[in-house]
């Protein structure tokens, strides 16, 4: 569950994945994906938007949000994934500043992306949002690399720390999990047409990779609710994998209760409970899993099966991600209520060889005003890159000059990169 409060300290005027509180004064919003803990306040944000304020997201997320919140249709701006866009952020009625943003696939759910922001002074901020990615995938993402193959400097990373916990050191790959799920479904429905499978999904979105794998292997669509079908039918590679006709399949993910097992398949009549196998892909209950462990746990009998399946990185995958990109500063976006100071210490200890300033637990550290934010960034000595020999006066003067360049020549500074596309309003 995300605890991130929305504001990026390094870029005034924007909010990411939070639409309440002080965020309502932001002039540009970014949505990484369509899970409820990243959409807080989205249902009321239209009351605070004007003609030059927009919500930026991936094309697939735009489909989902337009369907879910039709009142936001005129405020949504979809950005192509794997491209860099120049976003204009209004300062007031007559002036604006610009920031470059690249959307990078996050591998979490349909339309999920990371946001790689780049300011005119060259500062890069990566907001990972929820993600699952291995280093082998990371190595192929050109936006993280220079022309010589070296990794670009990430000055600040806001990262998905959901499973930054040694109890979740490893997870099976999603392909391993989906293969196992397909095998137990195939074994069950092969008993006869009167046998069915109910998939108990913990969220509306996030199991689409699994749906596609099941359809390709079993050649049978998954029955979903009419609401979900309306959305999936607009996503090209999802159309054949789902159906809104319960009689066309033995596999059902049509329950509207996403927090627990659907104890029966209510869309069909006269189904024997003994003929329904309940399969629940989950990660939270799988603390302590390793390569020698089973992929499943039977709840009571063979009809209730939990399968280890995660759309978030394991602890080891998170460590590999940090070690590869080596951000100069880290801010976890999922902080546990119990022992948060110890949690931060664990991150600092692991990243001590490459971070330039430790992350510090402050309950209200994301609700500073603009002046406090600038002061905080300067004092941490992360974003100024001043040398040991540089005096405080020289550092202050250079920082002032950088701020002047930011306000006066933002477009000229950014469009020198030919890969960047100007996002026109």
Is 202's pLDDT higher than 90?
no
Confidence of residue 94 (pLDDT cuts 50, 70, 90): low
Is residue 334 within 8 A of residue 161, CB to CB? The reply is yes
Burial 155-168 (b: 16+ CB within 10 A, else e): bbbbbbbbbbeeeb
Q: Residue range 381-393: average pLDDT?
A: 35
Which residue has 């099966």 as its token pair?
305
Residue 252 neighbours by CB under 8 Å, 6+ apart: 196, 197, 198, 199, 222, 223, 246, 262, 265, 267
The alpha carbon torsion through 137, 142, 147, 153 (nearest 10 deg) reads: -90
Q: Residue 166: what pLDDT?
A: 92
Cβ(85)–Cβ(421) under 8 Å?
A: yes
In angstroms, the Cα distances linking 72 to 194, 216, 230, 253, 336 are 44, 35, 18, 28, 32
With cut-offs at 50, 70 and 90, classify the pLDDT of residue 420. Answer: low
Q: What's 174-308's CATH class? A: alpha beta
pLDDT at 322 over 60: yes
Percent over 70 (pLDDT), the chain: 77
* Nearest in space to 75 (alpha carbons), one of 16, 41, 29: 29
CA atoms of 184 and 21, how far apart (whole Å):
46
Tell me: the pLDDT tens digits for 331-372?
A: 999 998 888 999 999 999 999 999 998 887 766 444 333 333
Of 268, 261, 271, the closest CA to residue 198 belongs to 261
Contacts for 298-303: CB closer than 8 Å, 24+ residues apart: 302/277, 303/274, 303/276, 303/277, 303/278
Structure tokens at 192: 């006869």
More confident residue, 105 or 48: 105
* CATH topology classification for 14-167+313-422: Metallo-beta-lactamase; Chain A (3.60.15)
Q: Residue 183's pLDDT is what?
A: 94
Residues 17 and 41: beta-carbon distance below 8 Å: no
> Could you read off the pLDDT of 125-168 as tens digits, one per residue?
999 999 999 999 999 999 999 999 999 999 999 999 999 999 99
Q: What is the mean pLDDT of residues 76-80?
A: 95
Rounded Cα distance between 25 and 176, Å, is: 45
pLDDT computed for residue 299 by the predictor: 58
pLDDT at residue 388, as a whole number: 37
| CA 368/CA 390 separation, integer angstroms | 28
When mean pLDDT is compared over 19-23, 258-262, 323-327, the highest value belongs to: 323-327
Contact at 8 Å (CB) between 334 and 3?
Answer: yes
Cβ within 8 Å of residue 20, ≥6 positions away: 6, 40, 41, 44
Residue 282 has pLDDT above 90, yes or no: no
CA distance 17 to 253: 27
Neighbours of 378 (CB within 10 A): 15
Cα 204 to Cα 161: distance, rounded to the nearest angstrom: 21
Residue with tokens 């994301």: 366
pLDDT > 90: percent of the chain: 46
Short-list 17, 14, 53, CA closest to 32: 17
Distance CA 102, CA 122 (A): 14
Strands 276-282 and 304-308: parallel
pLDDT > 70? residue 208? yes
pLDDT reported for residue 256: 57
For residue 413, what pLDDT is reported?
Answer: 35
The average confidence (pLDDT) of the chain is: 80
pLDDT of residue 305 exceeding 80: yes
Question: Is residue 248 predicted with pLDDT exceeding 70?
Answer: yes
Q: Which residue has the higher pLDDT, 307 or 408?
A: 307
CA atoms of 228 and 64, how far apart (whole Å): 9
Q: Give 48 or 317, the one with higher predicted confidence.
A: 317
Indicate the domain borders of the chain: 14-167+313-422, 174-308
> What is the model's pTM?
0.80
In the chain, the N- to C-terminal Cα span, in Å, equals 33
- Dist. CA 363–CA 10, nearest whole Å: 18
Instruction: State the pLDDT at residue 394.
Output: 44
In which residue are the tokens 């990109």 written? 325
Look at the block and give the residue holding tokens 């002074």: 121
């Amino acid at each position: 569950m995300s605890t991130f409060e929305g504001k990026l300290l390094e870029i005034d005027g924007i909010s990411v994945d939070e639409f309440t509180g002080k965020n309502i004064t932001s002039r540009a919003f970014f949505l990484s994906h369509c899970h409820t803990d990243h959409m807080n306040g989205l249902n009321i944000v239209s009351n605070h938007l004007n003609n030059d304020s927009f919500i930026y997201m991936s094309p697939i997320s735009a489909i989902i949000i337009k369907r879910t919140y039709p009142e936001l249709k005129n405020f949504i701006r979809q950005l192509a994934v794997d491209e860099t866009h120049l976003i204009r952020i209004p300062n007031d009625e007559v002036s604006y500043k610009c920031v470059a943003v690249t959307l990078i696939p996050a591998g979490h759910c349909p339309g999920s992306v990371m946001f790689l922001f780049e300011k005119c002074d060259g500062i890069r901020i990566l907001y990972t949002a929820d993600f699952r990615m291995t280093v082998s995938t990371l190595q192929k993402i050109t936006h993280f690399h220079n022309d010589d193959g070296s990794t670009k400097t990430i000055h600040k990373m806001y990262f998905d720390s959901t499973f930054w916990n040694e109890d979740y050191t490893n997870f099976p790959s999603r392909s391993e999990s989906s293969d196992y799920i397909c095998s137990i479904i195939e074994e069950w429905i092969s008993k006869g047409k009167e046998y069915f499978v109910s998939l108990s999904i913990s969220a509306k979105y996030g199991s689409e990779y699994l749906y596609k794998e099941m359809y390709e292997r079993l050649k049978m669509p998954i029955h979903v609710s009419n609401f979900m079908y309306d959305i999936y039918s607009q996503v090209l590679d999802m159309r054949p994998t789902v159906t809104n006709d319960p009689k066309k399949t033995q596999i059902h993910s049509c329950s509207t209760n996403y927090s627990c097992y659907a104890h029966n398949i209510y869309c069909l009549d006269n189904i024997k409970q003994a003929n329904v196998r309940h399969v629940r892909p989950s990660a939270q209950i799988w603390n302590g899993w390793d390569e020698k462990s089973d992929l499943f746990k039977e709840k009571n009998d063979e009809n209730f099966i939990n399968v280890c399946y995660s759309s978030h990185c394991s602890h080891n995958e998170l460590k590999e991600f940090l070690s590869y990109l080596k951000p100069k500063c880290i801010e976890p976006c999922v902080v546990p209520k119990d022992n948060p100071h110890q949690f931060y210490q664990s991150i600092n200890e692991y990243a001590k060889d490459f971070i330039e300033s430790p992350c510090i637990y402050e309950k209200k550290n994301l609700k500073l005003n603009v002046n406090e934010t600038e002061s905080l960034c300067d004092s941490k000595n992360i974003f100024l890159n001043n040398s040991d020999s540089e005096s405080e006066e020289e550092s202050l003067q250079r920082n002032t000059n950088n701020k002047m360049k930011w306000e006066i020549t933002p477009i000229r500074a950014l469009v020198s990169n030919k890969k960047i596309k100007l996002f026109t309003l």
